[in-house]
Amino acid sequence: MPGPTGHPLVQVASLLVLGVVLVGAVVLGAVLLALLATAAVVAAAAFSLRLWWLRRRLSRGDRDQGPSEGGRVIHAEYTVVAERDMRRPRD
C-alpha cells in the first residue's frame, strides 16, 4: 500500500472526494431509512384498518352468516336411503 504523497493538491483532492463520498453515504442512508419507515407506517395502517374492519363485522353479528348463502338459513328435510358401514373399506 503506497504511503501518503507530499503534494498538497493531491491531499486536498482526496479529502474532497472523501467528503463527497461520506455525504453521499449519509444521504443515501437517510433516504433508505425514510423509505423503510414509510413502508412500516403503511403496513401498520393497513393492519390496523383490517383489524378494525374485522372487529366491526363481528360486533354487527355478521359471523352467523354463511359465506355461500349471504346469511340466509336453508331448512330442509331429508331421508337416509342407505347407511354405509364405515368400518369396511369400499370396493
Average pLDDT, the chain: 84
pLDDT over 70, % of the chain? 78
Residue 47 CA to residue 40 CA, distance in Å, equals 10
The string of DSSP codes covering 3-48 is: ---S-HHHHHHHHHHHHHHHHHHHHHHHHHHHHHHHHHHHHHHHHH
pTM across the whole model: 0.51
pLDDT tens digits, 16-50: 999 999 999 999 999 999 999 999 999 999 999 99
Tell me which DSSP letter residue 49 carries: H
